[in-house]
C-alpha cells in the first residue's frame, strides 16, 4: 500500500509492508533511501515494467546527471534511468532532466531532448511517444490532495488544461509543480522538492487511462 502521511507542514510517502509502515522522509538521501528500502524490503527494479491501465502511482524519485531520464512506469520500477537505457525503454521514456553544471535545472520531453541533441546515445527519436509538459497553477496542498486521494479525474483535468499551453523546456525551481501527459494516455504531475547542480528530487504521481 502506498499513500501520503502529513505531519505538521511536512508530507511523507509511506509504504505498508506486512503490517509495517515505512516512512520515506522528503529529505532522505539516496544512501538513506537505499538503506530504508532494504530494511523494508522495498526493491525498485531497473527492469522495464510498464504502467497498467487504471492504476494510480505515488512515489518519490531523484534524478541525476547519471540517471536523468524519467520513465513513467509501475511503482516497483525505478523511474530514474540512465541515457544508455533509452534504446530498451523506447516509448516508456517520457521526460529528460537537463543539468548544465549550474544551479539551473530544466525539464523537457524525451523527444525534445533528442531533437536538441541532448541525448548522448544512438537512438531513433520516433521510438518515443509525444509527451507534453507544462507549469501548473496548482498549489502544493492541492497537489498532495490529488496524490493522497488518487484523484484521477482532477489529475486528468489539470494535465489537459495545463498541457493545452505546453512548454518545450521548463526551468525548474524548488516548489515547481509540472503537469505531463502523452499520446498513450499517461497523465501525471511532479513537485520539485530539492535541487542541486547535479540532481533534482521530486514527489510525483501518474496514471494510465
If the chain, 209 residues long, is cut into consecutive pieces of 10 residues, what is the mean pLDDT of each piece?
47 42 41 45 81 96 96 94 95 96 91 92 85 96 97 98 96 97 96 95 97
Burial 32-44 (b: 16+ CB within 10 A, else e): ebeebbeebebeb
Contacts 24+ apart (CB under 8 A), 173-179: 175/140, 176/135, 177/135, 177/136, 177/138, 177/140, 177/143, 178/107, 178/133, 178/134, 178/135, 178/136, 179/133, 179/134, 179/135, 179/136, 179/138
Residues 108/84, Cβ–Cβ less than 8 Å: no
- Location of C-alpha cell 520531453: 109
Query: Residues, the chain, total?
Result: 209
All three cell numbers of 86 = 533509452
Residues 172/107, Cβ–Cβ less than 8 Å: yes
Interatomic CA distance for residues 81 and 46, integer angstroms: 8
Q: Other CB atoms closer than 10 Å to residue 96's CB: what's the count? A: 26
Instruction: Read off the pTM.
Output: 0.81
Interatomic CA distance for residues 56 and 37, integer angstroms: 21
Residue 121: per-residue pLDDT: 80
Nearest to 110 by CA among 74, 78, 70, 73: 70
Q: Other CB atoms closer than 10 Å to residue 73's CB: what's the count? A: 26
Interatomic CA distance for residues 187 and 185, integer angstroms: 6
Residue 112: per-residue pLDDT: 95
Residue 96: per-residue pLDDT: 98
Interatomic CA distance for residues 30 and 124, integer angstroms: 32
Amino acid at each position: 500500500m502506498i499513500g501520503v502521511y502529513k505531519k505538521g507542514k511536512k508530507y511523507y510517502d509511506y509504504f505498508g509492508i506486512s503490517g509495517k509502515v515505512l516512512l520515506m522522509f522528503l529529505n532522505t538521501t539516496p544512501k538513506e533511501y537505499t538503506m530504508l528500502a532494504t530494511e523494508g524490503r522495498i526493491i525498485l527494479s531497473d527492469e522495464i515494467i510498464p504502467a497498467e491501465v487504471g492504476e494510480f502511482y505515488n512515489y518519490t524519485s531523484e534524478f541525476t546527471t547519471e540517471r536523468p531520464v524519467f520513465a513513467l512506469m509501475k511503482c516497483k520500477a525505478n523511474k530514474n534511468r540512465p541515457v544508455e537505457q533509452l534504446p530498451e525503454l523506447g516509448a516508456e521514456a517520457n521526460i529528460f532532466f537537463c543539468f548544465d553544471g549550474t544551479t539551473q535545472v530544466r525539464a523537457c520531453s524525451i523527444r525534445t531532448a533528442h531533437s536538441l541533441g541532448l541525448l548522448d546515445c544512438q537512438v531513433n527519436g520516433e521510438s518515443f511517444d509525444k509527451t507534453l509538459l507544462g507549469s501548473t497553477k496548482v498549489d502544493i496542498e492541492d497537489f498532495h490532495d490529488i496524490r493522497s486521494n488518487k484523484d484521477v479525474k482532477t489529475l486528468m483535468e489539470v494535465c489537459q488544461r495545463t498541457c493545452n499551453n505546453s512548454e518545450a523546456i521548463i526551468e525548474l525551481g524548488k516548489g515547481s509543480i509540472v503537469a505531463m501527459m502523452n499520446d498513450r494516455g499517461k497523465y501525471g504531475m511532479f513537485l520539485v522538492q530539492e535541487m542541486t547542480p547535479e540532481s533534482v528530487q521530486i514527489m510525483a504521481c501518474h496514471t494510465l487511462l
